[in-house]
Structure 1
Amino acid sequence: MCFFVHDLGSRFFATQDSSPPMAGQIPQRFIDDLLARVDVVEVVGERVALKKSGRNYSGLCPFHQEKTPSFTVSQDKQFYHCFGCGAHGNALRFLMEYDNLRFPEAVEQLASRQGMEVPREGADDPRAQARERKRQEGVNLLELAANFFRERLRMTEAGAARAYLERRGLSAEVQAEFGIGYAPHDWEALKRHLSERGIPEAVQVEYGLLVQREDSGRTYDRFRDRVVFPIRDFKGRTIAFGGRVLGDAKPKYLNSPESPVFHKGRELYGLFEARQANRQLERVLIVEGYMDVVALAQFGIRNAVATLGTATSEEHLSRLFRLVGEVVFCFDGDRAGRQAANRALETVLPLMIDGRQARFLFLPEGEDPDSLVRREGADAFADRITCASPLSEFLFEQASLGRDLARVEDRERFASQVLKALQRLPEGVLKSMLLAELAKRSGVDQARFEALLTLSAAYEVERDGGSSPQAFESREEPSKGHIPGRAAGALGLVGRTLQLLVHEPRLVERLPETLEWCPADEPDGALCVEVIELLRAGGYRSPQVLLAHFHGRVEGQRLVELARRELLIPREARANELDGLVEHFRQQRLRRTPQSEIDSLLARERNGERLTREDRQRLKELLTALSR
Structure 2
Amino acid sequence: MSLPPGFLDELRNRVSISQVVGRKVLWDPRKSNQGKGDMWAPCPFHQEKSASFHVDDRNGYYYCFGCHAKGDALKFIQETENVGFMEAVEILAREAGMPMPARDPQAAQKADRRSELAAVMEEAVRWFRLQLQTGAGQAARDYLAGRKLGQAAQDRFELGYSPDNRQALFHALTGKGIAPDLIVDAGLCARPEGGGEPYDRFRGRIIYPIRDARGRCISLGGRAMDPNARAKYLNGPETELFDKGRSLYNHGPAREACGKGQPLIVCEGYMDVIALVEAGFGGAVAPLGTAVTEDQLRMMWRVHPEPVIALDGDTAGTRAALRVIDLALPLLEAGQGLRFAVLPAGQDPDDLLKSGGAAAMTKVIEGARPMVDLLWQRETEGKVFDSPERKAGLDKSLRAAIKRIADPSIRSHYGDEIKRLREALFGTAPRGGDGFRSDGFRTEGFRSEGFRGEGFGKSGGKAPRAANTTGAARKPQGKPWQQVQVLPQASTRLSALAGSEEGVTEYLGEAMVLAIFVAQPALVMTFESQLETLHLTHRDHQDLRQLLLRLAHQPGRLNREEIEEAAPEEVETLMSLPHVRIAPAVRLAEDPETGRLGLAEAMAKLDAYRIARSEIEHAMRDMEALVDEGVTWRLSQAARAIERAHKGPEAESRQSVKASNGLELDKEELDLSRELFSKIDFSRGGKPRK
Q: How would you bin the TM-score normalised by the shorter chain?
A: 0.5 to 0.7
The 1-side partners of 2:152 and 2:397 are apart by 48
Match of residue 586 from structure 2: none
| 2:323 paired with 1:343 | yes
Q: Is the 2:292–2:324 contact (alpha carbons within 8 Å) kept by the matching residues of 1?
A: yes
Report matched runs for 1:230-245 at 5 Å. Answer: 230-245=209-224
Report matched runs for 1:247-326 at 5 Å. Answer: 247=226, 248-277=228-257, 279-326=259-306
Q: Is the 2:338–2:370 contact (alpha carbons within 8 Å) kept by the matching residues of 1?
A: yes
Q: Could you say which structure has the greater relative contact order, defined with CA pairs below 8 angstroms and 6 or more residues apart?
A: 1
Q: For 2:335, which of 355, 361, 379 is the aligned residue?
A: 355
Match of residue 367 from structure 1: 347
The 2-side partners of 1:432 and 1:269 are apart by 35
Q: What amino acid maps onto 1:404 in structure 2?
A: V
**C-alpha deviation, 1:162, in angstroms:** 0.5
Q: Pick which of 298-307 and 130-139 moved more.
A: 298-307
Q: Is the 2:162–2:202 contact (alpha carbons within 8 Å) kept by the matching residues of 1?
A: yes
Q: TM-score, normalised by structure 1?
A: 0.57
Gaps of 5+ in 2: 11-20, 25-44, 46-72, 424-442, 455-499, 504-524, 536-605, 612-640, 654-690
Please provide the CA RMSD for this pair. 4.4
The 2-side partners of 1:112 and 1:268 are apart by 22
Q: Spell out, residue by residue over 1:309-347, the C-alpha distance to the aligned partner (whole angstroms, 9 max, x if none).
A: 111112212122122132111233443333222110011
Distance 1:110 1:381, change over 3 A: closer
| 2:610 paired with 1:565 | yes
Distance 1:236 1:363, change over 3 A: same
Report matched runs for 1:124-163 at 5 Å. Answer: 125=105, 127-163=106-142
Q: For 2:529, which of 542, 557, 578 is the aligned residue?
A: 542
Q: TM-score, normalised by structure 2?
A: 0.52
The 1-side partners of 2:278 and 2:197 are apart by 40
**C-alpha deviation, 1:212, in angstroms:** 1.2
**C-alpha deviation, 1:102, in angstroms:** 7.0
**C-alpha deviation, 1:376, in angstroms:** 2.2
| 2:379 paired with 1:399 | yes
| 2:407 paired with 1:427 | yes
Match of residue 328 from structure 1: 308
Say which SS state the counterpart of residue 242 (structure 1) adopts: strand
| 2:203 paired with 1:224 | yes
The 1-side partners of 2:447 and 2:75 are apart by 39
The 2-side partners of 1:217 and 1:151 are apart by 27
Q: For 1:377, which of 357, 360, 366 is the aligned residue?
A: 357
Q: What amino acid maps onto 1:543 in structure 2?
A: Q
The 2-side partners of 1:236 and 1:212 are apart by 28
Q: Spell out, residue by residue over 1:143-174, the C-alpha distance to the aligned partner (whole angstroms, 9 max, x if none).
A: 11111111111122210010000000001111
Distance 1:177 1:574, change over 3 A: farther
Q: Spell out, residue by residue over 1:365-390, the C-alpha distance to the aligned partner (whole angstroms, 9 max, x if none).
A: 43222222212222112211221222
Q: For 1:193, which of 161, 164, 172 is the aligned residue?
A: 172
The 2-side partners of 1:376 and 1:119 are apart by 47
Q: For 2:160, which of 181, 194, 201 is the aligned residue?
A: 181
Say which SS state the counterpart of residue 347 (structure 2) adopts: coil
Q: Spell out, residue by residue over 1:536-563, the C-alpha distance to the aligned partner (whole angstroms, 9 max, x if none).
A: xx99852332369xxxxxxxxxxxx989
Q: Is the 1:403–1:410 contact (alpha carbons within 8 Å) kept by the matching residues of 2?
A: no
Gaps of 5+ in 1: 1-24, 35-44, 48-61, 63-90, 455-476, 481-537, 549-560, 577-628
Pairs aligned (count) = 412
Q: Is the 1:26–1:119 contact (alpha carbons within 8 Å) kept by the matching residues of 2?
A: no
Q: Is the 2:308–2:339 contact (alpha carbons within 8 Å) kept by the matching residues of 1?
A: yes
The 1-side partners of 2:193 and 2:608 are apart by 48
Q: Is the 1:98–1:323 contact (alpha carbons within 8 Å) kept by the matching residues of 2?
A: no
Distance 1:281 1:169, change over 3 A: same
Distance 1:447 1:310, change over 3 A: same
Say which SS state the counterpart of residue 319 (structure 1) adopts: helix
Q: Is the 2:81–2:256 contact (alpha carbons within 8 Å) kept by the matching residues of 1?
A: no
Match of residue 412 from structure 1: 392
Match of residue 215 from structure 1: 194
Q: What amino acid maps onto 1:425 in structure 2?
A: I
Q: What amino acid maps onto 1:353 in structure 2?
A: E
Say which SS state the counterpart of residue 308 (structure 1) adopts: coil
The 1-side partners of 2:526 and 2:128 are apart by 45
Q: Spell out, residue by residue over 1:381-406, the C-alpha distance to the aligned partner (whole angstroms, 9 max, x if none).
A: 22112212221211112121243345
Q: Is the 1:333–1:363 contact (alpha carbons within 8 Å) kept by the matching residues of 2?
A: yes
Q: Is the 1:282–1:325 contact (alpha carbons within 8 Å) kept by the matching residues of 2?
A: no
| 2:448 paired with 1:448 | yes
Say which SS state the counterpart of residue 118 (structure 2) adopts: helix
Q: Is the 2:416–2:453 contact (alpha carbons within 8 Å) kept by the matching residues of 1?
A: no
Distance 1:479 1:31, change over 3 A: farther
